[in-house]
C-alpha cells in the first residue's frame, strides 16, 4: 500500500518536472518594483545578471559584520542598497550621457558566516581576486569596515606586481594594531600596510575626513610614519573636496591600481545617518559621491567599497539612497573612462 503511494507521488513529481516553469527567479532578493518605462533604464533592471562574466563592472555584497566594535547591523546593507537602487536611472542629465551600454551586474553576495571570520574573509578575498583577475572593477557593499582588508587582499593577489593607492574616507584612521588582541573593524588598513606592505604603501594612501575628537595621537603618528597623507574633516571642509581629490590623485601617481574605501562615518550624518558612529562634522555626503565619480573615471581604479552602513540605524532610507547613488556614480565613472 505504502509502496504504491510512493510510486504515485514520484509520478506526480516527474510530471511537474516536465511541465513549464512558473515565472519565478532563483531564490534571493527580488526587487521587482519600479521597472520604469520603455524610454529609460532603471538601475535595478540594468543590474540583473545573466550569469556571464563578460562584465565592465560589478556590484557585490559582503554582508559580514562580526568584527564591528560598536553598533552593528551592516550585514543588512547590501539588500538595503538593492532596495534603493530602483530610484535611479542610468542617465546623466548633466552630461547628456546614458551609461546603459556599460555591462554591469549585481552578482550577489559573498557567502559569509557571521560566526566564522576566517571563512568569511577567505570567501571575500577569493571573490575580489576572481574579479580582479578578469579586470572587472567592483563596487562592494559591506559589511563592517574589517571587510576592506579581505577585499583589497583579493585584489592584491589578482595583481601581485601592482602597487595600490588607497583613497580612504573615514572619521577614524582604522590603523589600530588590534582591539585588545582581536581583529576588529578598526584595524583593516594597518593589516594591509603590514601584511601586504610590498603592494599597499602609505605614500600612495590618502585618508580624507579623519575627524577631530574621534582619534588619538598614537594612530595619527603611525599614519605619518607610514607616509599616509591625512586630510582631516576640518581641512576637507575648509579647503574643499576638489583639493582633497587633487591630493589623492597626486599621491596615487606612482601606483598601478587605485581603490576607494568609504567608511560611512566619514560622510556627514546629515546625508548618511545610518552608521555605527554617526558624524556631525563629516565630509559632505555629496562630496564623497563626487570623489567616487572623479576617481572611478581613472582607468587604474579597480574598485570601491562602502562599509559600516547599518540599515537598522538608518533614517527614512537616507543612507541607503546615498550608498546606491554613490555606486551609480562609480559605474558612471567607469563608463566615462577614455578608451585607449
Which residues in this chain contact Mn ion in the complex, by CB under 5 A? 145, 170, 174, 263
Kindly provide the b/e burial profile for residues 98-121, where b requires at least 16 CB atoms within 10 angstroms of the residue's own CB.
Answer: ebbebebbbbbbbebeeeebeebb
**Rounded Cα gap, residues 7 and 20, in angstroms:** 22
Q: Which is nearer to Mn ion, 145 or 321 (CB)?
A: 145
Spatial distance between the Cα atoms of 245 and 150, rounded to a whole number of angstroms: 25
Q: Where are the beta strands (DSSP E) in 143-203?
A: 164-169
Min CB(82)–Mn ion separation in Å:
23
In the bound state with Mn ion, the residue whose beta carbon lies nearer, of 86 and 209, is: 209
* Least Cβ distance, residue 128 to Mn ion (angstroms): 18
Give 38's DSSP letter.
T
**Paired strand residues for 258:** 165, 301
Find the shortest distance in angstroms from Cβ 172 to Mn ion.
5
Residue 25 CB partners (closer than 8 Å, separation 6+):
none
CB 322 to Mn ion: min, Å: 16
Residue number closest to Mn ion, CB atom = 263
Residue with the three cell numbers 556590484: 59
Q: How far is the CB of 148 from Mn ion (least distance, A)?
A: 8
Strand order in the sheet with 206-210: 104-109, 57-62, 138-142, 301-307, 257-263, 164-169, 206-210, 229-232
Nearer to Mn ion, 58 or 306 (CB): 306
Please say which residue, 48 or 212, places its beta carbon nearer to Mn ion. Answer: 212
**Complex with Mn ion: residue 263 or 305, whichever CB lies closer:** 263
Cα–Cα dist 337/98, whole Å:
14
Nearer to Mn ion, 145 or 310 (CB): 145
Q: Which is nearer to Mn ion, 86 or 202 (CB)?
A: 202
- CB of 308 vs Mn ion, minimal distance in Å: 6
Q: Provide the strand spans (E) within the chain.
A: 57-62, 91-92, 97-98, 104-109, 138-142, 164-169, 206-210, 229-232, 257-263, 301-307
Q: Are 313 and 305 in contact (CB under 8 A)?
A: no
Q: How far is the CB of 5 from Mn ion (least distance, A)?
A: 60
| 113, 33 contact by CB (below 8 A) | no
Amino acid at each position: 500500500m505504502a509502496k504504491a503511494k510512493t510510486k504515485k507521488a514520484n509520478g506526480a513529481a516527474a510530471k511537474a518536472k516536465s511541465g513549464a516553469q512558473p515565472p519565478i527567479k532563483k531564490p534571493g532578493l527580488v526587487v521587482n518594483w519600479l521597472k520604469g518605462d520603455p524610454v529609460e533604464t532603471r538601475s535595478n533592471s540594468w543590474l540583473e545578471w545573466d550569469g556571464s562574466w563578460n562584465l565592465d563592472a560589478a556590484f557585490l555584497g559582503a554582508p559580514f559584520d562580526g568584527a564591528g566594535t560598536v553598533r552593528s547591523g551592516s550585514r543588512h546593507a547590501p539588500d538595503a542598497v538593492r532596495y534603493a537602487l530602483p530610484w535611479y536611472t542610468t542617465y546623466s542629465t548633466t552630461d547628456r550621457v546614458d551609461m546603459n551600454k556599460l555591462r554591469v551586474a549585481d552578482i550577489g553576495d559573498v557567502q559569509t558566516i557571521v560566526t566564522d571570520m576566517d571563512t568569511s574573509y577567505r570567501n571575500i578575498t577569493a571573490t575580489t581576486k576572481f574579479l580582479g583577475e578578469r579586470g572587472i572593477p567592483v563596487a562592494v557593499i559591506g559589511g563592517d569596515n574589517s571587510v576592506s582588508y579581505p577585499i583589497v587582499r583579493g585584489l592584491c593577489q589578482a595583481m601581485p606586481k601592482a602597487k595600490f593607492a588607497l583613497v580612504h574616507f573615514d572619521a577614524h584612521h582604522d590603523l589600530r594594531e588590534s582591539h585588545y588582541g582581536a581583529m576588529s573593524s578598526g584595524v583593516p588598513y594597518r593589516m594591509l600596510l603590514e601584511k601586504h606592505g610590498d603592494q599597499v604603501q602609505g605614500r600612495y594612501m590618502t585618508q580624507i575626513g579623519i575627524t577631530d575628537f574621534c582619534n588619538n595621537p598614537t594612530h595619527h603618528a603611525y599614519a605619518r610614519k607610514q607616509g599616509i597623507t591625512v586630510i582631516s574633516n576640518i581641512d576637507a571642509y575648509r579647503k574643499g573636496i576638489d583639493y582633497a581629490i587633487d591630493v589623492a590623485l597626486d599621491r596615487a601617481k606612482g601606483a598601478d591600481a587605485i581603490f576607494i574605501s568609504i567608511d560611512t562615518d566619514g560622510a556627514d550624518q546629515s546625508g548618511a545617518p545610518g552608521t555605527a558612529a554617526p558624524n556631525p562634522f563629516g565630509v559632505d555626503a555629496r562630496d564623497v559621491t563626487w570623489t567616487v565619480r572623479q576617481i572611478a573615471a581613472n582607468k587604474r581604479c579597480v574598485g570601491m567599497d562602502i562599509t559600516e552602513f547599518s540599515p537598522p540605524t538608518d533614517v527614512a532610507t537616507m543612507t541607503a539612497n546615498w550608498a546606491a547613488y554613490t555606486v551609480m556614480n562609480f559605474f558612471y565613472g567607469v563608463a566615462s573612462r577614455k578608451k585607449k
